[in-house]
Amino acid sequence: MPWNIFGREEFSKELQDYVNPQNMYFNENTQQVIEATITGTLFELPAGAVEVAAGGGYRKETLNESSDALGLARKNNGFNGAPGALIYINAPAIKGDLELFEGFGEAQIPLLSDLPFIDSLEANVAARYTDYSTSGGVTTWKAGLVWVPFDGLRIRAARSKDIRAANLVELFNPASTGFGAVLDPVKAGQSVSIVPITSGNPELDPEEAETSTIGFVWNPSFFPQFTATVDYFNIDIEGAISTITSQRTLDLCTASAQPQYASYATYCSRILRDNNNDPNGNLLTIRLPYSNLATLANSGLDVELGYTEDLPVFGIDGRFSLRAFATYVYENSSATPGIPAITVDSAAAVGQMQGLITASYVFDDWSLGLSSHFVGPGRFDPTLIVASTGAPRRYKGDLAESQWWTDLSVKKSFGDWEVFGSVLNIFDKDPPLFPFTNTSSGFGTSNTYDTHGRRYQIGARIQM
């Protein structure tokens, strides 16, 4: 019987099952892989041997998710026709597979050696052809050079075309409904409630990226304890797999009436109104499938510095190591269709510059470690924009200052086993408080700062 919230009857198991039904979900992922590779020397050049590798492979991935009878509820959702009458309790089944065949080849080619300012110069070239069952064939490649002008310095550069194929969820995720609201231009901009429908898209193409890197590794002969690595990277992605909001879909369809935006008419097919989709009818649903619709650009600098030295202490031989890592992001922008087309650069977000410094000392059976994490200053959410202009929307106090926190660890070995302990976030450093935004609020973020405060760990490991 239904639960009378104004009554005094006992909250029985039957009522519990009615109010909060517990159903089961089943998930099965399988992968079958066959791959063969051959390697060897193709021929000799004056500068050395040409080494090659070639091969091919086959892979099949299968996803099968389902629910028990309660989850499917023996009914169909009225909006998307999928099994499961309720919106959140019922989970429609997911079933799909992806097959691919590929062949690849790679060659390491020594071009020059033993010349003034050219201790060695090598080229690396590679190509791969992949045929996906869902989207057809695509060719990727890479070409690079490694130049050693003299002992201790290596300069490297590479250019490549890369892809990321859609995963099984992006391809086959069944239609699922939710709740939403949009400003409907047919109703003079009035806010109306709708049922958005998200889904996978089996016609997705792979994302394509062009990647360029250049950098160097320096390990000077006069200071062999020191190593420096610096790399610049630039990545441009076309056809990134993403979704857009219900409001953006509606705006693009409306704009398609203007000749300059006629290409956006395809978004109108995702909108359903009542009265047989009467253009002036009430909004019912807006479909939001995954699509190849975004462009992404990412560039930055990676730096790694290292110093290692034998350093006895109190007559006991030990080894001291100091390493520093840092990444600085120049650009991290994305662009999706819009009126006007909107490009958002989130490079200035919290974490535009991040770093880690580690120091360790190993002597006898002891190992001591100290690590300090750094997050540079930045805006809490630079993706917040003014929709009409694409300009950043700023809030008072939306900038975060730089921050450090430090961890300490100790380890002692006893033959085949060891004990260890650590103090994380020694100084109990709190992350900054975030102002309210449309994406986050509250006390820091777990993927950028340490949000747990000071804590202790102790344990033992035994090698069997």
Average pLDDT of the chain, as a whole number: 85
Peptide bond into 340 cis (omega under 30): yes
How far apart are the C-alpha atoms of 443 and 433, rounded to whole Å? 5
- How many CA atoms lie within 13 Å of 347's alpha carbon, on the beta-carbon side? 16
Residue 146 scores a pLDDT above 80: yes
For residue range 9-42, what is the model confidence (pLDDT) as tens digits? 676 777 666 656 666 667 788 999 999 999 999 9
Higher pLDDT, 341 or 440: 341
The model's pTM is: 0.80
* 439 confidence band (pLDDT: 50, 70, 90): very low
Least confident of 64-68, 265-269, 383-387: 383-387
- Choose the weakest-confidence range: 45-49, 119-123, 288-292, 332-336: 332-336
For every residue of 307-369, DSSP letters joined together read EEEE--BTTB-EEEEEEEEEEEEEEEEEEE--SS-EEEE-TTBTTSEEEEEEEEEEETTEEEE
Q: Give 344's pLDDT tier (boundaries 50, 70, 90).
A: confident
Angle CA 143–145–149, to nearest 5: 180
What is the model's pLDDT at position 446?
Answer: 58
The least confident of 37-46, 88-97, 170-179, 292-301 is 88-97
Q: For 276, phi and psi rounded to 5 degrees?
A: 60, 45
Among 334, 170, 167, 342, which Cα is nearest to 252's? 342
Q: How far apart are CA 100 and CA 340, in angstroms?
A: 38
- Report the chain's C-alpha Rg in angstroms: 29
Where exactly are the structural domains of the chain?
A: 23-177
pLDDT at res. 271: 93
Give the pLDDT mean for 338-364: 85
- The share of the chain scoring above pLDDT 70, in percent, equals 82
In the chain, how long is the greatest CA-to-CA distance? 94
Report the sign of the C-alpha dihedral through residues 381, 386, 389, 394, in that order: negative
